[in-house]
């Protein structure tokens, strides 16, 4: 139930904050430049989103061809989807968050966080962190003989 309260709070607060900043910026630079700036950021965001999205899609395909699970790239794709929705929403605050999600280092860190801390720990599953900040987990091979005894 708390999730829906947070969602309701977001749907109420975000438009109020956006309207506040649109009015403030409009007072400083004027109404028409403010509208043009919002439209420009939407177009720029869509262009950058397309470029980043194609790059992420290429990484997913490459991982699949090698036989790896592209979990991080897939979560990045979802974050790019969120970024696109934020960039198409008129306003400066949502544009700021959307452009931040377009930055690969930030998006990759957030994707790793969601995979290793957020998504999998909630279900009781854990995955060892790997990547440039962590050492890969070493696997040990145990040799021996196996004999099956059927009744």
Q: What is the DSSP letter of 137?
A: P
pLDDT at 26: 94
pLDDT at 123: 43
Token pair 């005894």 is at which residue? 149
CA-based radius of gyration for the chain: 22
Say yes or no to pLDDT of 128 above 70.
Answer: no
Q: Residues 93-109: pLDDT tens digits?
A: 999 999 999 999 999 99
Q: Residues 28-85: pLDDT tens digits?
A: 999 999 999 999 998 998 888 888 888 888 888 888 888 888 888 889 989 999 998 8
Dist. CA 21–CA 40, nearest whole Å: 17
Say yes or no to pLDDT of 136 above 60.
Answer: no
Dist. CA 115–CA 119, nearest whole Å: 5
Q: Measured between alpha carbons, how far apart are the two ends of the chain, in Å?
A: 54
pTM, to two decimals: 0.70
């Amino acid at each position: 139930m708390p999730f829906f309260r947070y969602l309701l709070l977001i749907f109420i607060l975000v438009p109020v904050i956006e309207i506040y900043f649109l009015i403030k910026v409009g007072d400083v630079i004027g109404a028409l430049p403010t509208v043009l700036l919002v439209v420009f950021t939407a177009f720029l965001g869509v262009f950058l989103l397309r470029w980043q999205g194609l790059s992420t899609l290429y990484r997913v395909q490459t991982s699949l061809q090698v036989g790896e699970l592209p979990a991080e790239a897939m979560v990045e794709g979802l974050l790019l989807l969120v970024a696109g929705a934020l960039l198409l929403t008129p306003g400066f605050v949502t544009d700021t968050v959307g452009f931040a999600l377009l930055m690969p280092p930030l998006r990759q860190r957030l994707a790793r966080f969601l995979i290793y801390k957020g998504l999998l720990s909630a279900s009781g599953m854990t995955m060892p962190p790997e990547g440039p900040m962590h050492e890969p987990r070493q696997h040990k091979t145990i040799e021996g003989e196996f004999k099956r005894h059927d009744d």
